[in-house]
Structure 1
């Protein structure tokens, strides 16, 4: 009898142990999740885009005439002073070669100019002789007028003749000078191009010197070696690297949200700290740009000015790549949650709040939001614990626990 009861008690204990083990194994386990505490902070909405730096006042030095540009003695990065530093020297283009017909015409013009010069010299000699005769005649008339041998009219006529001949002499001298210059012009046509250019250095009398229009640094030398250039050909770019501005290409849909005076943060420029800037101008025209995916996009250039001192961006130069975040709106010291804690329920936004170890779904009303945080206007309070990145195992009322690190 006693042995029977012992077997029954042992069997009951085994059954209870199996039931307890089954319950322990099959009971619902808390779902591990990532928790985040709702706190206050700023929510800043930005428009982001890549851009480049550029010198605000970039000067392109061009050749004022056609000729041969001498080899530049400057290097990229050299400092120049406005009106003092010679940045280029241009040797004017020598005259063209003459063919047989043009040469004969030019030689004939030289002979004609020589003959005209001789004719002008003979005319000068004639007028000089007549003037000498008129002066002698005037001297005689003045002597005779003292004895009233010659009338006053005759004396005045002699004086008029002298004055007339003096004027004719001046005209003959001027005519001879003109003929001489015409002869030099005709002879200049016969000057042959030089078979070889002599050594020429900036500062020599052979060349037209071009001085720096602005103090700064040499940014680019378009013609380093000696070369033939046309009038107006660009030779060098000069600018002040401390006077930088930013050019950011934004999608036209984003550009319409940007206003002049908006603050911006400049990142990914290579420095340890982000830089600050402000929008100065939004260009009124757009342009088409093909993206890396082959999609045509309408973009607008936005110009920004740095607000940090030049020493903070001393390493930046012309045409450096940067990444700009332009602020378009800001909510200060508001209740905010990570954007990863929010999800859609129909047309509403919702989040899971941890209450007594269980997930409770709460509908929330949002304000501003960016890529990291969203402003909460109702539905959550500061200090609430929300679940970020909720998976499909989390639902309203499910027991949750913090995920092990």
Structure 2
């Protein structure tokens, strides 16, 4: 039994060694021998000659048409609407001063009549106060004359002491005192009359103010167009109640329509009032393309929204006679500066790997071959889809624009001719 087991194990070992030998010989025959590296030659690249150019620096803005002159039509007094102008229609042109709405005037006319009666009563009271004042003045004059006379008589009797009795002097003194008291009473009556007249005059002025207010409210029961413009909303209904200050509609001046647009906050400082602009309107499959219009920047905001980091500018249309629709969306391109001989490179010709811009230019070696030379340009600012170069690149050099992912500093390159570059 033991011998049989040993024989079986020996046979299995021999078979295993044979299988390993066969596998090793067969695998060795199928192992691929790596081919020697193939020389690909210079990398074909597209290029762009760097030249100075006349460049218009532009800022793009988007916004909505807004009427700078738009009024909410509202009455300043409350009442029932008696009539509405037949000319009130949506979009109708209304001349300044045209009556649009009139309230029932009965209550206002009654208020005017009541105020007029109150003024007449106040004027009558003022007239009586003036008469009383004149009477008090004359009474004071008479009292003063009597006082002067009694004083002189008393002084004369005092001087003639040897010829006047005590009884005469006492009578003269009493008359003098009585005359002085009468004069004081007359003066007090005059002051009271003056106060009475002042009060009557105040009542007259108050009555006149009340009458003027009643007349003004009667006048304000009529709503007129504050300026020439177009009606925006449907008219109110005759017979309905109108509350003071409640909107009955809106009137806008089409000549005052401007584009209120938003631009990035960092662009606000580059835009000045007077910069020319081109205003464009988006089209849809249902609308015909609209021709761009000329405009000019009329206002520049000084504050940006802290959430959107955008600020507002206002662009006025040069042609104010054309009819436009407020609320319409528009795009504007504002020309902020004209540059001469500027060096500009497209964003697509730069490599921003690592967060820093890199550029590659052609450098000709002494043997006539071309290699890529890496540059780290510094930009003054972005303009459109590229940048204005401040340093790092120069006019006259040739910029490599494609393929940036296959080149590095010192890599041999071959500039493609224009026709071949276009095909690629």
Tell me how far 1:327 sits from its aligned partner: 4.5
- Once residues 41 and 332 of structure 2 are traced to their aligned partners in structure 1, the CA distance between those partners, rounded to angstroms, is 47
CA change 1:226–1:337 in 2 (3 A) is farther
The partner residue of 1:338 within 321, 346, 359 is 346
Which residue does the alignment assign to 2:298? 280
- Once residues 224 and 42 of structure 1 are traced to their aligned partners in structure 2, the CA distance between those partners, rounded to angstroms, is 62
Whichever structure has more strand as a proportion of its residues is 1
Whichever structure has more helix as a proportion of its residues is 2
Aligned length: 261
For residue 348 of structure 2, give the secondary structure of its aligned residue in structure 1. Answer: helix
| Structure 1 gaps, min length 5 | 1-21, 96-206, 289-295
Instruction: Establish whether residue 88 from structure 1 lines up as the match of residue 101 from structure 2.
Output: yes
- Once residues 385 and 310 of structure 2 are traced to their aligned partners in structure 1, the CA distance between those partners, rounded to angstroms, is 25
The partner residue of 1:219 within 229, 232, 239 is 232
Q: Deviations over 1:198-231 (max 9, x none)?
A: xxxxxxxxx9543322122223347468642201
Q: Deviations over 1:83-135 (max 9, x none)?
A: 2x43334346989xxxxxxxxxxxxxxxxxxxxxxxxxxxxxxxxxxxxxxxx
Instruction: Establish whether residue 249 from structure 1 lines up as the match of residue 262 from structure 2.
Output: yes
Tell me how far 1:28 sits from its aligned partner: 0.5
Q: Deviations over 1:19-61 (max 9, x none)?
A: xxx89x9330554544333333244444443222222222222
Which residue does the alignment assign to 1:78? 92
Which residue does the alignment assign to 1:188? none
Which residue does the alignment assign to 1:321? 329
- Once residues 292 and 370 of structure 2 are traced to their aligned partners in structure 1, the CA distance between those partners, rounded to angstroms, is 42
CA change 1:404–1:250 in 2 (3 A) is closer
TM-score under structure 2 normalisation? Answer: 0.50
Which residue does the alignment assign to 1:28? 40
Instruction: Establish whether residue 56 from structure 1 lines up as the match of residue 68 from structure 2.
Output: yes
- Once residues 89 and 371 of structure 2 are traced to their aligned partners in structure 1, the CA distance between those partners, rounded to angstroms, is 69
Which residue does the alignment assign to 1:360? 372
The partner residue of 2:316 within 298, 302, 305 is 305
Runs of 4+ in 1 over 6 A off after TM superposition: 345-348
CA change 1:403–1:302 in 2 (3 A) is closer
Native 8 Å contact 2:75 2:222 kept in 1:
no
- Once residues 234 and 303 of structure 2 are traced to their aligned partners in structure 1, the CA distance between those partners, rounded to angstroms, is 31
Instruction: Establish whether residue 391 from structure 1 lines up as the match of residue 383 from structure 2.
Output: no
Q: Deviations over 1:294-317 (max 9, x none)?
A: xx33654333323x3236xx3632
| Structure of larger gyration radius | 2
RMSD: 3.9
CA change 1:38–1:71 in 2 (3 A) is same
Name the stretch that deviates more: 50-59 or 340-349: 340-349
- Once residues 85 and 397 of structure 2 are traced to their aligned partners in structure 1, the CA distance between those partners, rounded to angstroms, is 70
Native 8 Å contact 1:280 1:304 kept in 2:
yes
CA change 1:404–1:299 in 2 (3 A) is closer
Native 8 Å contact 1:219 1:237 kept in 2:
yes
For residue 77 of structure 1, give the secondary structure of its aligned residue in structure 2. Answer: coil
Q: Deviations over 1:309-335 (max 9, x none)?
A: 236xx3632222122344555533323
| Structure 2 gaps, min length 5 | 1-34, 109-219, 284-288
CA change 1:359–1:328 in 2 (3 A) is farther
- Once residues 106 and 248 of structure 2 are traced to their aligned partners in structure 1, the CA distance between those partners, rounded to angstroms, is 17
